[in-house]
Every structure is written in C-alpha cells, then in structure tokens.
Amino acid sequence: MLLLALFRRRAACGHRLPNGGNMLASMKFLISILLCLLYRPVLAGEPVWLGRFDEALSDPPAPWRLVRFDEKIPATQYRVREWDGISAIEAVAVRSMALLARPVAVDLAATPVLCWRWRIDAPLASADMAQKSGDDYAARVYITFKLADSDMSFSTRMKLKLGRAIYGPDAPDAALNYVWDNRYPVGTQRWNAYTDRARMIVVESGTQRAGQWVIEQRDIQADFIANFNVKEAEITSLAIASDTDNTGETAHAGFADFHLIPRGRSCSFS
C-alpha cells in the first residue's frame, strides 16, 4: 500500500515511473519520491513547524529539553497547558533561569521568517538590559547559530572555547534574543550585557499588550546577517525563557505556535 501511494503521488513531484523491471531504476525512483515528499512543504511555501503543543501532555515534548547554565540558580518551570483556547508552553520564573530549547536544522534561505505568539502577565519592574544586574526578561525567544571559523576571529574562537568549558556545550557561536522588555522601546537593539555573541532585540515593551496573546514575525536570517556581519546564517536551535535570576523578580509568560515561513507568506495561526 505504501508503494502504491508513492506511485500515485509521483505526478505531484514531476516524476515518471521507470519502464521495465530495472530494480536500480525503481529504487532511485522511490528515493526521489520520498525526498520530494519530505521537502514538499517547504517548496510549496507551507510552514515548517517547530512548536505546536498538545495540552493533553503536561510536560514539553521531545525534542524540547531544559537547558541550565548554572545549577546553583533555580530553574524556570515550564509546562504545556491550554491558555485562552491556545495550546501553549507556560513559563513561571521565580528568581530563576533556564531555557526550554530544541534543535533546529532547516534551510533558512527557504524559510527565513519566524512566526510565533506569546503573552506575559506583566513586564519586570527593575530589569535593565544595559546592566548585568538587570539582564532579565519576562519573556524572550532565543535563537542560536553556527558560524564558520572564517567568520570569527581567533580571539572569539578562544572565548567561545573557554565559555563552553565553563557553561557547557550549549553555549552557541552566536545568538539572537527577541525580548519583551520593560523600559526600552520596540526596535531597540543592544549587545547582551554579558557577551557580544548575543544580540538583544526588543519586539515588545511595557504593559500595553500585557495580558493578551501577541503575534510576532521576524526575518531571523536578515537579522542575524545584519547583526553579525556574515553572508550566511546556519540556525542550530530555538529556545524560550522567562528569566528573573538577576533581578530576583517573578514572571509568568506563555509561548505558542512557532513556525518558519518563506518571505512573502503569511504566518499560520488557527
């Protein structure tokens, strides 16, 4: 039945069934159909889903996992829940910090635009991204990238090696952070207070839209290339966080419906 279904789908991929009983030709045909079916959603401009959650599950499903850089700091708590009719990840941070992350391996040239929706109860009161003591966010979306050695100086490569020795292998070559800030206006971009390998970009700020789901759309390929002065972007992971370990505050946030789309397409929300 599987083979019959694949043969029936050959027209959608532009392939013709090979003539005769040549086994090698038939195998090549089947492989080409399978590859077509695997990549057809991207070619058709359909979204590449990275985070749709089933509220029937209490824990975030694989490949999502908790990432902690300091075991001495309490971990932000994450769970799956239905929230205002949306299946989402709920984050609760109480003087805590941990990422909820998943690996990503896609062609950003085909689908460079990230869509998602999020919400917060309220922004943090005392956070300030310009200070290490204030480097906290009620909600942030964290995207990591891999760089070629030729795109990094020798000193940068040595700093990264040292950082991974201290914080573990999850420390990336470079990262973008889309944050819901408390004081800086939307559009503000700054280097992280701790490292110049992470760019902070304010996409929401203040209380005006707190308490409701907000839809976001960012061209992450363009943002990365512009901020790190490289020609290509290779994404490695996507993470979310509510982060309050520096300020000692409490945050409550939700994240849902992460997907990548080609430029010129609309985000896909039910």
Average pLDDT, integer, range 74-84: 97
Residues 130 and 223 occupy one common structural domain: yes
Q: What distance in Å separates the CA atoms of residue 150 and residue 156, rounded to the nearest whole number?
A: 11
Residues 189 and 254 occupy one common structural domain: yes
- Residue among 39, 34, 61, 37 nearest 50 (CA): 61
What does the pLDDT look like over 201-225, one tens digit per residue?
A: 999 999 999 999 999 999 999 999 9
pLDDT above 50: residue 17: no
- The residue with tokens 């050959």 is 10
Percentage of the chain lying above the pLDDT 70 cut: 76
Per the model's pLDDT, the better-predicted residue between 253 and 168 turns out to be 253
Average pLDDT, integer, range 40-57: 75
Residues 153 and 125 occupy one common structural domain: yes
Residues 167 and 154 occupy one common structural domain: yes
Residues 175 and 205 occupy one common structural domain: yes
pTM of the predicted protein model: 0.80
Residues 67 and 179 occupy one common structural domain: yes
Residue 266, in any domain of the structure: no
What does the pLDDT look like over 232-256, one tens digit per residue?
A: 889 999 999 999 999 999 999 999 9
Any idea what the CATH number is for the domain that residue 60 is in? 2.60.120.260
Residue 269, in any domain of the structure: no
Q: What distance in Å separates the CA atoms of residue 29 and residue 129, rounded to the nearest whole number?
A: 55
Residue 270, in any domain of the structure: no
Q: What distance in Å separates the CA atoms of residue 197 and residue 38, rounded to the nearest whole number?
A: 34
E strand or H helix that includes residue 39? helix 23-43
- Residue among 126, 141, 149, 133 nearest 175 (CA): 141
Name the residue range of residue 34's domain: 2-43
Number of domains comprising the chain: 2
Residues 32 and 88 occupy one common structural domain: no
pLDDT band at 86 (very low <50, low <70, confident <90, very high): very high
Per DSSP, the residues of 63-101 read T-EEE-S-TTSPPPEEEEEEETTEEEEEEEEES---EEE
pLDDT band at 152 (very low <50, low <70, confident <90, very high): low
Count CB-CB contacts under 10 A for residue 153: 9
